[in-house]
A = this chain, B = another copy of it.
Amino acid sequence: MEVTSGSRDKTGFFTQGRWWFKALPVKLKANMVDMARSLRKLGQEDPRRVVHSLKVGLALTLVSTIFYYLPLYKNFDPNAIWIVMTVVLVFEFSVGATLGKGFNRGIATLLAGGLAVGAHHLTKHLGRVGEPMLLGLLVFLQASISTFLRFFPKIKASYDYGMLIFIMTFSFISVSAFRYDEIFELAQERLWTVSIGGAACVIVSILVFPVWASEDLHNLIALNIEKLGNSLEGFGDKYFKRTGGEGCKDDKEFLEGYKSVLDSKTSEESLANFAAWEPGHGRFPFRHPWKLYLKVGTLARECACRIEALNGYLNADMQESSEVGSIIQEACTNMSIESGKALKELALAIKIMVQPSSAHSHIENAKSAAKNLKSLLKSGIWKDIDLLKVITEVTVASILIDVVTCTEKIAESIHELASTAQFKRAEPTLSPEKLNSGQMQCVKSSQILNCPHVVINVCE
């Protein structure tokens, strides 16, 4: 009995094994196809990724070739490889990140090298017992202190990599002092190689299809504000089951857009940090007010929170609307859609860097809708009403009033940004002569934001 069961098990095992082997090529093929698809998607989402990868390959190959063909001087030999390492470690996606890392690496190498050479000169007369003990103590002290300093939020944000390189270079040169006497040359060599590698990164990063963190932060903030606008417009359409409204149609995507806004704090902060390292370029002068972008971002997240709360009522069982309910709904639709439009105008104004004057009228509309609603609530239409039937509407209305306030705050912060960063003044209307004379090139917003019904004319 046991034997039979065992042999049956065995047969089963082999059959399964055969199946598995037969299925293997199919599975492998499916996996490969999946992988190729995600790779293509990754590249299509942001083609700069492909360019960046090629740039890193290029910089590394250039440096390697230099290493092969140009032996600078004899002593340079074994450690010249540090150039290659520096390129791998310093080359980042954006110019700002590359500059920040390069600066950190350079300054930290200089300081740590200098200190380590100093420490060597202090200790070299102490003999074979005293020297390693004192050097060991120094290594311990600097590593402990520098590691602790890395916990400082400000240092962590901008100089973390520098602290790491500081610890590494100091230890490296001090410890090398145990073995080699030409420690000054070693420190010098390290500084040279790091400088050459860092310079190669910075040059390739800036000259070959540069990716600016400043541009990314600017676009991210504009996109987030736009997403909030789309969500509000979509909400106005969907919640009140309006059909044929002017809102953008792709509901799901628009409605959920605000969720990514909630999670964008980290990327905004790191982009602002990188942007601060970047030199003035294109539309962004040096000392562009990056901190104001973060302020707008914070307010955008507060607004996104309100939209998240609103979203909870989107799927609530809608009661049969009473007459009163539909009056509230009308006001809500107006508030929602007008705030949405205002946010989208603001987003566009950031994107093309003009004063956000056109948003003003939408905010006023939203505010007057809120005011109407309030006076409506005060009026006598509420007698003999089942409040439970309109509680959803009342709550939505109340949160929307809050959203209008949020929108106003966002508008204020964007105004502050626009005036500090000296955005251009958009002409409210264009005279036909100017249009015909061809002196101005007008940009259709639909080319910039992908929502076809917001069109304002902007003059460059």
Contact = CB atoms under 8 A, between A and B. Distances in A.
A58 B140 contact: yes
B387 A394 contact: yes
A73 interface: no
A178 B68 CA distance: 6
Interface in A347-371: none
A399 B388 contact: no
A414 B167 CA distance: 43
B387 A378 contact: yes
Contacts of A342: none
A107 to B, nearest CB: 17
A105 interface: no
Contact of A176 (B81, B147, B171, B377): B81
Contacts of A140: 57-58, 60-61
A286 interface: no
Contact of A144 (B56, B65, B68): B56
Contacts of A405: 312
Interface string A101-143: 0000000000000000000000000000000100111011101
A457 interface: no
Contacts of A306: 308-309, 312
A85 interface: yes
Contacts of A292: none
Give the residue among A147, A301, A402 with the most B Cβ atoms within 10 A: A147
Contacts of A58: 140
A144 B147 CA distance: 33
A171 B383 contact: no
A60 B172 CA distance: 10
A308 B306 CA distance: 8
A84 B137 CA distance: 15
A309 to B, nearest CB: 4
B262 A305 contact: yes
Contacts of A168: 84-85, 88-89
Interface stretch (A46-54, A208-216, A419-427): A46-54
Nearest to A91: B147
Copies of the polypeptide in the assembly: 2
A318 interface: no
A398 B312 CA distance: 11
A20 interface: no
Contacts of A60: 139-140, 143, 167, 171
A127 to B, nearest CB: 13
A283 B19 CA distance: 41
A263 B267 CA distance: 12
Contact of A178 (B42, B50, B61, B67): B67
B394 A391 contact: yes
Given A151-B49, A394-B387, A139 B64 contact: yes
Contact of A77 (B69, B179, B388, B402): B179
B387 A377 contact: yes
Contact of A383 (B77, B148, B313, B383): B383
A386 B395 contact: no
Given A88-B167, A88-B171, A175-B67, A399 B391 contact: no
A84 B172 contact: yes
A175 B68 contact: yes
Interface of A: 38-39, 42-43, 49-50, 52-54, 56-58, 60-61, 64-65, 67-69, 77-78, 81, 84-85, 88-89, 132, 135-137, 139-141, 143-145, 147-148, 151-152, 164, 167-168, 171-172, 174-176, 178-179, 262-263, 265-266, 301-302, 305-306, 308-309, 312-313, 374, 377-378, 382-388, 391-392, 394-395, 397-399, 402, 405
